[in-house]
Amino acid sequence: MGFLLLSLLIVFIYTRALIYLSNAYAKRHLMQAPHLRGTHTQSIPRGVGLAVVIVCLITLSAFGVEHVYFQQNFAFALVLGGALIAFIGFLDDHQHVSPHIRLLVQALGVGLVLYQMGGFPEIYILNQVFYVGWIGHLFAFLGMIWLVNLYNFIDGIDGYVGMETVFISLNIALMVYVLDLFSLTWFMLVLAVSMLAFLCWNWQPAKVFMGDVCSGFLGFLFASLMAYTARDYTVSLITWFILLAIPIIDASYTLVVRLLKGHSYGESHNCHAYHHAVVRYGSHQAVVFRGLAINLFWLAPFAWAAFIWPEYDVYLFAVAVAPIFYIVSKLGAGQDNDFSKFLAPRDRFELPTK
């Protein structure tokens, strides 16, 4: 235990050092100026989440070399796919990249991972294996690409993505620890600790932004781990879906509403449920704490129940996500959001009014 804590402390310090270097670079080349759809009035360095990406890629590369848990080819596919998606995100942080090019690179990364893991020909639900053939490959491919973009969509307020990442990582770490998968436990703890180091800079009022380089990478990482552990009968898809319920439902519900209203897929906006919640509750921090409370006291128990009793996972999922759908719709996800109604400044940050 002492060695583990020392190792994680080193990871934390190393990540902080990388954040310092990334921040120095971002201040020269990647300043995010205030804009009408944003929630800040000062220019803030973005793309600093590159530090977390580097830590994760180094750890995954070590997995590939040492042949721990992941098959070597899959580990290197995960590293290569993650590096590609992080790279296109890094370019997008510097200068807008066409959505079609981003989707092409994401498809390449996701396809590489699915190919190395042998696709997704069966689904494990209700403690039963359902063979779905090529349909499973297709849905896995589309679902993973959606999760990559979803994680980018929810990166809109201080500390939100960091909180979700730490919550998911720690729960998965505990689950795989119960199964004696210590190497995967170690990786999830590394991810959680590196994100905690980033949260020290990204908590309201944020000193740095994560950027597409990190948000897209995190979505890809979770999508790949979800597919791999589900295929390995380690952690089911339903368990992952429950842990990710808030971002999945918020982003998906918002997208559907906006598409029905005639908006384009790639159009930026401030219409997610968490955007509306900022206006309602008065600060980023208030929204993040409410999300954390829902995660800890509602979603986590259902996720663990689905993990322990997989024969009931679909029923547990339905009960767990129903209130989330209600909250998201009640907050007005997908509807126009007027930040000028917010009384600034509060909690040391302001919202633009023009």
**Whether residue 52 has pLDDT greater than 80:** yes
pTM > 0.75: yes
In contact, 336 and 276? CB cutoff 8 Å: no
pLDDT of amino acid 134: 80
Any idea where the domains of the chain sit in the sequence?
A: 1-30+44-235, 244-354
Confidence of residue 353 (pLDDT cuts 50, 70, 90): very low
Q: Indicate if the pLDDT at residue 304 is higher than 60.
A: yes
pLDDT the model gives residue 80: 95
So what's the pLDDT on residue 28?
87
- Asked if residue 82 has pLDDT above 90, the reply is yes
pLDDT of residue 204: 85
Mean pLDDT to the nearest integer, 56-64: 87
Q: Quick one: pLDDT at residue 131?
A: 82
When pLDDT is averaged across residues 12-33 and rounded to a whole number, the result is 89
The mean pLDDT value for 189-214 works out to 93
* Section 211-234 average pLDDT: 92
What average pLDDT is seen over the chain? 87
Convert the pLDDT of each residue in 85-128 to its tens digit. Answer: 999 999 998 888 888 899 999 999 999 999 998 888 777 777 77
Residue 344 is predicted with a pLDDT of 44
Q: What is the pLDDT of residue 129?
A: 77
Report the pLDDT averaged over residues 231-243: 92
pLDDT in the model for residue 351: 39
Lowest mean pLDDT among 8-22, 109-123, 213-227, 284-298: 109-123
Half-sphere exposure of 303 (CA within 13 A, CB side): 25
Region 196-224: mean pLDDT is 93
> Which residue shows structure tokens 């089911």?
236
Q: Which residues contact 142 (CB under 8 A, 6 or more apart)?
A: none
Whether the pLDDT of residue 345 is over 60: the answer is no
Residue 205: the pLDDT is 86
214 within 8 A of 53, measured Cβ to Cβ: yes
Residue 141 Cα distances to 92, 151, 301, angstroms:
23, 16, 29
Residue among 94, 86, 44 at smallest CA distance from 214: 86
Percent of the chain past pLDDT 90, that is, above it, reads 57
pLDDT of 329: 94
Task: Please name the amino acid found at residue 137.
Answer: H
pLDDT for the residue 34: 60
pLDDT > 70? residue 160: yes
Model confidence band, residue 72 (pLDDT cutoffs 50, 70, 90): confident
Residue 37 has what pLDDT?
53
Q: What is the pLDDT of residues 275-291, one digit of tens each?
A: 899 988 888 999 999 99
Two tokens, residue 206: 């944020």
| pLDDT score of 354 | 31
